Structure 1
């Protein structure tokens, strides 16, 4: 076993992730997954068992050879908090050491929301989770809207909270809670939620579509999140719209394809129309329509997704947010429109599906972020 403690902790953390994900269920499969010798992995496993992070029990008979003892994580070894917010609310989940969601909390934000009120509400949510969870809090993951600097733990800018600029979120939360706090853009956090709790478990390449209060995407390429050189990868909501504009009169894409904008278009109301309290439920009304507005919305989404498919060559686009209420028919309509608009996509394996995860996907993703980043001290 190497003596470098940083290396050892990284391998120990990686070992726990492999067992937690189910990709490694024995010492032999764990050694293969980590690329280390069986004798070395044995020492790591023995240490993790001694520290009550892993257990080894039962036997599993493979097609050949001796029966294998099964490795599992111990759910009560500790827990992870995942927190995601936007301008209206903070949502938090508690996930046990084995990666199972145990409890959830939602708190509204005040109408005149500030950075300080967001931080205070996050702390209140984590305190509420603590009442229901077992074992020590090990780490907190934060899904933060807008531009973020994950390495520095800073929320750079979010247009819908006036003073959300250069906010040192990680240090503000970590100082109060005394545990590591890992920050990421909320759509990238959702991408991790798909990896652990949704349909991204066995995918190396997928794109999260996030038409929510704005419009953004998160990309996973070759199994890794794409952040960009300036932490702004996926900010397609800032594209000029319509594409090919430039006469000074065009809008930005999020003005016409965010969830609120899409509802207003389908409902045929002006931008001044008050949004329904439950936007997802209101959108269900249009899931079976085939109006001119429906066709126009699908065509606009098709232009965006067609361009993204040619750029990323992804396996699947996973739709998140209130527009999942429009169902598979909405996704299929987008695919047909994209193939009609772009001849290059006529035979391409274009796939768009609604996520099976709910409104807490961002918080689940933030908890996933904490799970992936944590390693034993």
Structure 2
């Protein structure tokens, strides 16, 4: 049985997995990403963990390859991270060349949201379609476009930056320099910012109390207040939904794909933003209205907007899938096993 190594490098966690060609998870290693110690340390930590896993499974079968998902704007032609807000000090870093030289083997580098889209295509919500768009609502907002079963990279690998589509002209300034990006209204960071604005404007005693007393005043806490009936918290998730709906409607109008998948940590608040999201999609896309599941007969082509199925593991499975696609592996997925084993002594 062949297997691949997938790596999901985030600003908080570094995860490495061994995944069989049919999708079975052999092992998952989770480490903290100590970005404050610099990129040399982080890449060393990553390559050490990869060596540990590959050594452990060297008798399991053929190693198909290693795929690595990295956050930020990546120039695929040169393997360079042009900018990564979650990895300070990585600007214009030729990470691909560095990792390959340390490991002494070829690796496949990919944007982390693209890797998540590949994971959902392989084993998740998009497994029965060859054309889909995925939004990842996390610390920021990322995206990936799957076309004819393959990632769409654009001219040099930077396609699919869906978090920087404008949803509110002259809205809140974004780190990219634009105003009104989706990322400023649908990310976990945006949810917390909007909650603090509501507190500053005296709109919610519950949010004010949570912001004072909860050490981790997070989007999850704000979601909990929303489902408990706090009006200001509910309005925040209405904003999340309307913003995503505008973005999805534009993509439906542009691409006419059969599936649009919403993933990332903020997607756990699905019930709080789903209705306003779909309200915007219906209002802004004639194509959606005539191809919505309720508008077409059974067996006809339809447009589906759905929640991702793999949760936080989408990018990990997608990264492992990358070398399988490159090397022509095409086995159907099997049921996944679960493992999460820390590596003792890995620096």
Farther-moved stretch of structure 1 (296-305 vs 321-330): 321-330
Check 1:363–1:107 CA distance in 2 against 1; reply closer, same or farther (3 A cut).
Answer: same
- Please name the residue that 2:126 is paired with: 200
Match of 1:219 among 135, 138, 145: 145
Match of 2:259 among 310, 316, 319: 316
- Please name the residue that 1:182 is paired with: 108
Shift of residue 344, structure 1, vs aligned partner: 5.8
Q: Give the Cα separation in 2 of the matches to 1:249 and 1:173.
A: 32
Count of equivalent residues = 299
Check 1:224–1:372 CA distance in 2 against 1; reply closer, same or farther (3 A cut).
Answer: closer
Contact 1:301/1:334 (<8 A) preserved: yes
Deviation per residue, 1:54-109 (Å, 9 max, x gap): xxxxxxxxxxxxxxxxxxxxx2xx43110011222211111124432111011112
> Any stretches of 5+ residues in structure 1 without a counterpart?
1-74
**SS of 1:163's equivalent?**
coil
Deviation per residue, 1:293-332 (Å, 9 max, x gap): 3323222221111112111212111111112212356334
Shift of residue 269, structure 1, vs aligned partner: 4.8
Match of 2:65 among 127, 135, 139: 139
Q: Give the Cα separation in 1 of the matches to 2:113 and 2:250.
A: 19
Deviation per residue, 1:158-201 (Å, 9 max, x gap): 12323212322233222232332011111111121112211222
Check 1:250–1:196 CA distance in 2 against 1; reply closer, same or farther (3 A cut).
Answer: closer
TM-score, length of structure 2 as denominator length: 0.74
Q: Give the Cα separation in 1 of the matches to 2:14 and 2:235.
A: 36
Shift of residue 211, structure 1, vs aligned partner: 1.7
Q: Give the Cα separation in 2 of the matches to 1:102 and 1:246.
A: 44
CA RMSD of aligned residues (A): 3.2
Check 1:153–1:215 CA distance in 2 against 1; reply closer, same or farther (3 A cut).
Answer: same
Match of 1:148 among 36, 58, 74: 74
**SS of 2:252's equivalent?**
helix
Check 1:129–1:150 CA distance in 2 against 1; reply closer, same or farther (3 A cut).
Answer: same
Contact 2:7/2:320 (<8 A) preserved: yes
Check 1:230–1:239 CA distance in 2 against 1; reply closer, same or farther (3 A cut).
Answer: same
**SS of 1:216's equivalent?**
strand
- Please name the residue that 1:374 is paired with: 327
- Please name the residue that 2:189 is paired with: 260
Shift of residue 144, structure 1, vs aligned partner: 1.3
TM-score, length of structure 1 as denominator length: 0.69
Match of 2:281 among 338, 345, 354: 338
Q: Give the Cα separation in 2 of the matches to 1:117 and 1:338.
A: 44
> Any stretches of 5+ residues in structure 2 without a counterpart?
201-210, 293-302, 330-347
Check 1:262–1:97 CA distance in 2 against 1; reply closer, same or farther (3 A cut).
Answer: same
Question: Which of the two has higher C-alpha Rg?
Answer: 1
Q: Give the Cα separation in 2 of the matches to 1:158 and 1:118.
A: 14
- Please name the residue that 1:90 is paired with: 14
Q: Give the Cα separation in 2 of the matches to 1:196 and 1:236.
A: 21
Q: Is 1:362 paired with 2:312?
A: no
- Please name the residue that 1:170 is paired with: 96
Check 1:153–1:307 CA distance in 2 against 1; reply closer, same or farther (3 A cut).
Answer: same
Deviation per residue, 1:211-255 (Å, 9 max, x gap): 212112211123221111142212232344513669999443322
Farther-moved stretch of structure 1 (317-326 vs 127-136): 127-136
Return the structure number with greater relative CO, CA threshold 8 A, min gap 6: 2
